[in-house]
Amino acid sequence: MGEIQEYKCPCCGGGIAFDSNVQKMKCPYCDTEFEMETLAGYDSELKNDRADDMKWESSAGKEWQDGETDGLRTYVCKSCGGEIVCDENAAALSCPYCGNPVVLMGQFKGALKPDYVIPFKLDKKAAKAALKRHYEGKRLLPKVFKEENHIDEVKGVYVPFWLFDAGADANIRYKATKVRAWSDSKYDYTETSFFAVTRGGNIAFEKVPVDGSTKMPDDFMESIEPFDFSEAVDFKTAYLAGYLADKYDVDAGQSVERANVRIRQSTEDAFGATVKGYTTVVREAGSIQLHNGKIKYALFPVWLLSTTWKGKNYLFAMNGQTGKMVGDLPLDKTAYAKWLFGLTGIISAAVFAASYLLWLL
């Protein structure tokens, strides 16, 4: 009599009391047959499952040197609450987000000093030209909106970003199937083979950015990504001259969640792509361990353009480094209806004519 061990059936999850004297086992619940090694191997895979570990050590930002912030002033927008930083020479200002005037708060203080800054590469003219191009090729954009192209404000803003650096160890288990079909003179057969597929390894991420300002919508900033970090330089207050800077109001700890989501997704996709040759692949379990997770604080250049139309504020953002322009535009409902019904008429007529021609043949 061999040793009795209980295993979990890979097919239905039921318990199989395994007798090592018998070389082949049948699950009492679903009648599926297994090799002995299969059950033992599958069991050890199950024991490998661990929880995610995505911890970061924050060393983001530095302390300011004495006197370094002397030339910086903080302004606050009474309308939207936006807090911006600029140098003392800046002229009368309005809020880059909502266009309302801002008031001087006083001498800049507090907050951390950024580790890096990517300087502006494109100027105001380039931003305006990009906006014009942004309007092109959009048939459902109201004509009036295009013609009354008055840009209320064009502001170059350094937006605070938390940058996440980490290596990720992943161990992911999939249940995959291969389907084979054949037939003889009387029957059609389909054979589904089930596999336990495991992929483990590591992957490294560099400078995954998360927007550190609540005034700046996250999806907006993610839309103008990526920034080319190779052009980043160590931060100096001199870079702020002529531009505005936003003060972070989401700290690194709060931004971690967003970075984790993106890193986890990319890691799973990268490892999932190595599972090939199967008909279906379903992720069953997996864990991601981060190591050497480091956070840095950087300012990235963004041109903000805002325009008001029919009492609504439309905000556009351009990557100040690559020139990528984003911003949702209003829909011309009349034009939309015209296109929808016009096209319906034309396509329906064509389909109907084609069906008649087919009938004639």
Q: Scanning residues 268 to 327, which ones bind another protein (CB under 8 A)?
A: 269-271, 274, 325-327
- Min CB(117)–another protein separation in Å: 18
Q: Rank residues 138 and 236 by Cβ distance to another protein and give the closer one.
A: 138
Site membership for another protein, residue 106 (CB under 8 A): no
Residues 129-148 close enough to bind another protein by CB under 8 A: 134, 137-141
Write each residue from 212 to 241 as x if it is in contact with another protein (CB under 8 A), else as -, in one continuous string: -----xxxx-xx-xx---------------
- Nearest Cα neighbor of 261 from 60, 54, 59 is 54
SS3 77: strand
Site membership for another protein, residue 66 (CB under 8 A): no
Question: Which value, to the nearest 10 degrees, does the dihedral of the CA atoms of residues 113, 114, 117, 123 take?
Answer: -60
What is the token pair recorded at 54? 């995505």
Q: What is the C-alpha to C-alpha distance for residues 307 and 35, in angstroms, rounded to an integer? A: 69
Site membership for another protein, residue 52 (CB under 8 A): no
Site membership for another protein, residue 265 (CB under 8 A): yes
Q: Rank residues 186 and 310 by Cβ distance to another protein and give the closer one.
A: 186
Of 40-48, 50-58, 65-73, 120-128: span binding another protein (CB under 8 A): 40-48
- Min CB(355)–another protein separation in Å: 5
Residues 322-361 close enough to bind another protein by CB under 8 A: 325-331, 336, 339-352, 355-356, 359
Q: What is the C-alpha to C-alpha distance for residues 138 and 277, in angstroms, rounded to an integer? A: 41
Distance of CA 25 to the CA centre of its chain: 46
Q: Which residue of 90, 157, 197, 240 would you call a contact of another protein, by CB under 8 A?
A: 197
Contact in structure between 299 and 245 (CB atoms under 8 Å): yes
Site membership for another protein, residue 201 (CB under 8 A): yes
Q: Rank residues 81 and 200 by Cβ distance to another protein and give the closer one.
A: 200
Q: Rank residues 5 and 193 by Cβ distance to another protein and give the closer one.
A: 193
- Nearest Cα neighbor of 215 from 158, 151, 154, 256 is 158
In sequence order, the 6+-apart residues with CB closer than 8 A to the CB of 206 are: 165, 229
Residues 146-185 close enough to bind another protein by CB under 8 A: 167, 171, 176, 183, 185
Q: What is the C-alpha to C-alpha distance for residues 15 and 27, in angstroms, rounded to an integer? A: 8
Site membership for another protein, residue 257 (CB under 8 A): no
Beta-bridged to residue 22, according to DSSP, are: none
Contact in structure between 83 and 76 (CB atoms under 8 Å): yes
Structural Rg of the chain based on CA atoms: 30
Of 56-64, 97-105, 118-126, 264-272: span binding another protein (CB under 8 A): 264-272
Q: What is the C-alpha to C-alpha distance for residues 273 and 286, in angstroms, rounded to an integer? A: 15
Residue type present at position 112: L
- Min CB(106)–another protein separation in Å: 34
- Min CB(68)–another protein separation in Å: 30
What backbone phi and psi angles, to 5 degrees, belong to 350?
A: -65, -45
Q: Rank residues 79 and 322 by Cβ distance to another protein and give the closer one.
A: 322
Q: Rank residues 107 and 348 by Cβ distance to another protein and give the closer one.
A: 348
Q: What is the C-alpha to C-alpha distance for residues 163 and 174, in angstroms, rounded to an integer? A: 31
